[in-house]
A and B are shown apart, each in its own frame.
Chain A
């Protein structure tokens, strides 16, 4: 059971198990494999090579959401996977359908999100002939999946799908793909797919070695300046409650990574929020000055570490990860603990000899909170500040509200100025940094959690990349509020140009921006415009009240920048709090 903020009411548990028809084709066994794995939703787009699979879906109880673009299908599946904890499923046809999925697959791979992609392929006898809509889908996706399968036979194609499903979910989650030649799905078979099982060569560690745990616990208890760095793996492992118990019992300040947002409540005294390029000053000070870091489920991405030479330079690192290849990949682990985050946290909880004697350090962390507060000015005579919009929205929504984003400045403001307290409520594109993630991700998130409010903060640039997804949100009557923090620019690029390219704003400003409220109305959604501070609360309320997708086109200060900022490859302790600081470091 995943640690969702709120779990939907009993799902058809009372419904009697209906007798299933035996399968007769490869396609039916593909669908049967998905049914057996508990699939509720599939996101996809039709096409020639995948038609037999869709035909088999006709008779299934699985819901299909027809997307406007396959990129949206893979992002929606990704968000569905993040929110539910179970693999999200997407379909596409061969050739362009499959290549359109690629961005979402790569995104899921970078963020370890559980996704299974099923792609149509030309019939086996045409493979290699450059047939119509033939692409080497397995070849293209092999490096960006846990495994890509080429289905060879109607009798085994169901097993391929079962295995791919299990693999996407097992251990360190991630995307898998099964390429389905049309003759294989069309071909006759009576073979029912087996239960979802991971391949025999795939091992999933559970508990960490006891002796190592003991040594790590001693080191942490001995520390003068201990911190916990909680990564996305904590959420993926449903270890957020274990983390909370551990941190509170041993009174250790908690920093999260961006994907780890929500693993620890940001309103708790021990929380320093998140560290990295645009992380809080206090998190970055703590991460720089700690002498012992318990890092859990993080791959020490460079946006988190800055330059490794100056990353936590005094710290002994205890690294908990389910993937042995992450240990000492970017940052050397003095105490490697390979295992499931929840299990290892329990082991550590029992092994800790005492609360670390670190009162002074805890006080210091509070001092940094006072020294580097996350605040901003809202002068009346200046355009609307994006931070204000995010904060106002956060104030009025329930704790379990899910926030999705595009990529850019707006994403950073949404992560900085919204207060996250629950796991699986922050749905964003981290490792790949995919503009356009927001619109379809919100669709996947809303279907995954129909009882939770879903808000998507998007940028004008990101929104335009996948805006066609609004047609899906309208058709499916999804109650999502999109807030476009509109700075008429690809603002993050503009910020870098101003900071590091002498203000030479090449291809970063959009003087041709459409009216997003009108665009929303054209799609059949509700459109709103925000120009000033006056009606922010009221507009938010109206958009939330509207039962269906709405878009708030918030015209924000085009000159606003994201701070704090650690320049790329820099020292986390040397963050800039304003433009002038950027010149100093």
Chain B
């Protein structure tokens, strides 16, 4: 009957890593997760947001924020998606996004792209002057005030907002809302035209 048993069979020495990449014994490739900003133009129609977010959860892409809003064209919307993945994961995310029918185009924005986030922070109204002083430090401003609370608006990079929120903690933060990042490429480049 049959030939050699499993332990007697010839076997190559090579190996692949978990990403299916052949492990070169000389220079092993490993990809650490990194953050990427994906910008996608999509058809502005019902269900697109759920289609995109379902894709990210189903394929287990690690997503930090997702924002969506209109563009100059009524028929299209723009999504900005922050993901943290090793290189092959980022590549997959882009390709899977492009496969969705309502997705028009997808691009990863370069590191120096303009990235902004907005946060509203509601703190105790006991020391309004001190709150204003901290808000000033972060170029923020109070947008609502009552006897019991002050609401401050801050925009900027994620790091700046993180720092501002840290600073506001001294005033008993009651509520916070953050939008997630919106981002655009610097210079004349746009999603429609690759310059």
Contacts and interface: CB of A to CB of B under 8 A. Distances in A.
B6 A332 contact: no
A399 interface: no
A285 interface: yes
Given A150-B47, A328-B20, A323 B99 contact: yes
A512 B189 CA distance: 69
A378 B52 CA distance: 55
Contacts of B3: 281, 368, 370-372
B16 A313 contact: yes
Query: What band does the interface of chain A fall in when counting residues whose beta carbon is under 8 Å from B?
Result: 35 or more
Given A138-B47, A142-B47, A288 B11 contact: yes
Given A199-B101, A309-B18, A581 B6 contact: yes
A313 B18 contact: no
Contacts of A368: 3
Interface string B129-161: 000000000000000000000000000000000
A577 B50 CA distance: 47
Interface in A304-333: 308-311, 313-316, 323-325, 327-332
Which 10 A-B pairs give the minimum distances between C-beta atoms? A371-B3, A313-B14, A325-B95, A331-B20, A332-B21, A147-B101, A314-B14, A314-B12, A577-B2, A574-B6
Interface string B40-68: 00010011001100110010000000000
Interface string A263-288: 00000000000000000010001001
A226 to B, nearest CB: 15
A150 B92 contact: no
Query: What band does the interface of chain B fall in when counting residues whose beta carbon is under 8 Å from A?
Result: 35 or more
B169 interface: no
Contacts of B96: 325
A202 B100 CA distance: 8
Contacts of A325: 92, 95-96, 98-99
B5 interface: yes
5 contacts: A142-B51, A285-B10, A289-B10, A577-B2, A584-B5
Nearest to A584: B6
B4 interface: yes
Given A308-B16, A316-B22, A328-B20, 19 more contacts: A142-B54, A143-B58, A199-B101, A201-B103, A285-B9, A285-B10, A309-B16, A313-B14, A313-B16, A314-B22, A325-B95, A332-B16, A332-B19, A368-B3, A370-B3, A373-B2, A375-B1, A573-B9, A574-B9
A319 B153 CA distance: 51
B7 interface: yes
B7 A289 contact: no
Nearest to A376: B1
Interface string A506-547: 000000000000000000000000000000000000000000
A180 B55 CA distance: 24
A38 interface: no
B50 A142 contact: yes
A371 B104 contact: no
A479 B92 CA distance: 46
Interface in B62-117: 88, 91-92, 95-96, 98-104
A328 B88 contact: yes
Interface in A121-151: 138-139, 142-143, 146-147, 150
A202 to B, nearest CB: 6
A444 B86 CA distance: 44
A573 B11 contact: yes
B17 interface: yes
A309 B17 contact: yes
Interface string A351-383: 000000000000000001011110100000000
A43 to B, nearest CB: 25
Contacts of A138: 47
A345 interface: no
Contact of A584 (B7, B95, B101): B7
B77 to A, nearest CB: 13
